[in-house]
Amino acid sequence: MSEPTDCIVLRGIAAEAIVGVYDFERHQPRPVPIDLTLWCDLRAAAASDDVAETIDYDGVTQTVHQVCATLQPALIETLAGTIATRLLGDARIRAVTVTVHKPGAVAGVEDIAVRLHRSQAEHP
């Protein structure tokens, strides 16, 4: 089954998380803006104009915030992977691209980000 060409894009989700390998990073949440692309079939929603036929943007955002508030990983790679796994729990989301930004993580670098792409075919 090929991935759909339709997608929903959420850019700049204002999340915060305790994430990092250094002790000073483990004391309080830091901003980790998150971008998502949700690959799904939007034909029914486009035809019906019915919100029940699409993905709940607010619910997706709440999932991201919940993962960020509870996980506390060392790596943003782990944060991105966990978000992807949680979102793929909705079978209507056939694939997801997750980008987690960690601005200011390295002196002299404006932003560091991890982007990963996962699909239902890879989802356990």
Reported as a single tens digit per residue, the pLDDT across 90-101 is 999 999 999 999
Digit-coded pLDDT (tens) for 32-73: 999 999 999 999 999 999 999 999 999 999 999 999 999 999
User: Residue 122 — very low, low, confident or very high, per pLDDT cuts 50/70/90?
Assistant: confident
Q: Give the chain's radius of gyration (CA, Å).
A: 15
Per domain, the residue ranges of the chain are 7-119
Q: What is the pTM of this model?
A: 0.93
Active site residues: 102
CATH dotted code for 7-119? 3.30.1130.10
